[in-house]
């Protein structure tokens, strides 16, 4: 379960998109060395819902996506720091950064410079809008991208949109896209590669169905709440207790649903007879179905409908989802005991991948800032780390 074993990644990233990219690579077996600013490190070390951990530089936002990595501190503005990074690049396969475009060039550490130290370097740059174009110098955060990609405009109901998605969607997609691109580039080690990931483009790329309805069909995307506009009945329904998602997208599923809720009469009605008719009269149909569903709780309907081949699922909270048997049994949650810098056990997520029947995992918890200075810099021949620290290099 370590297909990237032997691959060394230099992680020069901060906060989410870049660290999430390298989080995936670490779980695939790569050695990920996180290069952080001396004294402060990744901003995510100070972010999260636990103020105490934030103060210790081990914020939950950092813990969430840095397990398995090694941490070194390096001042990339100092001449000695630049030289040390170049030396690290010689022994690396991949470098990932998510600075604003132009920052690495100003530091004298851009792709063209670093490839002279390693002619097979894979250099991945993640930014909000890409490394060129009209918006190249704009700063970007997840919510900015959500708004500018159109995601917010189609999230929510007609009377509530635009809404942001409830987690950093654009950052996460940007990180996944970069990890995918890096893994692909590792298939060709004959030369150096420069990977330019735009979070805006990566996010829009995942909106294929919605965008294509506009590009090909001329239908402007809109917010439809919890309704699946491609079919009916398909969406969220109120039951006697709780909400349930039902996706009777096929005609045979619709027939099974109608019969099971004791409403076979709905099948014969002209306004529900075909897929297009059901779509056109979806809210009238929804009312009829919810009346029937009011006799039982969502969990019971979920069990009954899935048993007869009608896809259905209770709407869960995040804690409920994490506690579900399928998540608990498939090894998605990692356990780390008495984590240094945290002082207690923690749980973090692994990836959404299973490899040859197992969950890829890392063997060490998120590192303390500079935890691996001695190990990494010592191997590069630097012996007097105290002097480097006093000079502000590390």
**How many other β-carbons are positioned within 10 Å of the β-carbon of residue 250?**
14
What contacts 22, CB < 8 A, 6 or more positions away? Answer: 9, 11, 13, 32, 34, 69, 96, 179
Based on DSSP, count helices (H) and strands (E) in the chain, helices before strands: 19, 11
**Annotated catalytic residue: which of 171, 265, 356, 363?**
171
Q: Please give the torsion angle defined by the CA atoms of residues 221, 227, 228 and 233, in that order, rounded to the nearest 10 degrees.
A: -150
Q: Give CA–CA dist 365/343, Å, rounded.
A: 12
Nearest to 336 by CA among 63, 56, 29, 19: 63
- The string over 96-126, giving b where at least 16 C-beta atoms fall within 10 Å of a residue's C-beta and e elsewhere, is bbbbebeebeeeebbbeebbebbeebbbbbb
Question: What are the Cα distances from residue 7, in Å, to 28, 139, 189?
Answer: 10, 31, 12
Residue 171 is a catalytic residue: yes
Positions marked active-site: 171
């Amino acid at each position: 379960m370590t297909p990237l074993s032997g691959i060394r990644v230099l992680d020069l990233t901060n906060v989410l998109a870049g660290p999430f990219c390298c989080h995936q690579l670490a779980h695939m077996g790569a050695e990920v060395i996180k290069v952080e600013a001396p004294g402060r490190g990744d901003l995510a070390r100070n972010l999260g819902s636990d103020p105490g951990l934030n103060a210790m530089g081990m914020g939950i936002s950092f813990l969430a996506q840095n397990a398995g990595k090694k941490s070194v501190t390096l001042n990339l503005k100092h001449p000695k720091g630049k030289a040390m990074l170049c030396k690290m690049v010689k022994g690396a396969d991949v470098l990932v950064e998510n600075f604003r475009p132009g920052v690495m060039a100003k530091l004298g550490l851009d792709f063209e410079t670093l490839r002279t130290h390693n002619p097979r370097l894979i250099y991945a740059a993640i930014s909000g809008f890409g490394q060129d174009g009209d918006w190249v110098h704009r700063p970007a955060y997840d919510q900015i991208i959500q708004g500018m990609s159109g995601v917010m405009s189609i999230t929510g109901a007609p009377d509530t949109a635009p809404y942001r998605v409830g987690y950093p969607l654009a950052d996460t997609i940007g990180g996944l896209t970069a990890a995918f691109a890096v893994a692909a580039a590792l298939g060709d080690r004959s030369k150096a590669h420069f990977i330019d990931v735009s979070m805006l483009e990566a996010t829009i790329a995942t909106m294929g169905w919605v965008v294509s309805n506009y590009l090909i069909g001329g239908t402007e995307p809109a917010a439809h709440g919890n309704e699946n506009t491609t079919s009916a009945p398909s969406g969220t329904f109120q039951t006697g207790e709780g909400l349930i998602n039902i996706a009777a997208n096929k005609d045979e599923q619709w027939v099974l649903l109608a019969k099971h809720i004791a409403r076979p009469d709905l099948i014969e009605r002209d306004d529900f007879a075909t897929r297009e008719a059901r779509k056109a009269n979806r809210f009238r149909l929804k009312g009829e179905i919810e009346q029937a569903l009011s006799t039982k709780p969502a969990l019971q309907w979920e069990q009954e409908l899935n048993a007869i081949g009608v896809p259905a699922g209770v709407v869960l909270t995040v804690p409920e989802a994490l506690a579900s048997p399928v998540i608990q049994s498939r090894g998605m949650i990692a356990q780390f005991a008495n984590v240094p810098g945290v002082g207690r056990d923690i749980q973090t997520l692994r990836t959404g991948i299973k490899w040859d029947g197992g969950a890829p995992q890392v063997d060490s918890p998120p590192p303390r800032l500079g935890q691996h200075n001695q190990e990494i810099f010592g191997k590069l021949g630097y012996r007097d780390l105290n002097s480097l620290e006093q000079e502000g290099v590390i």
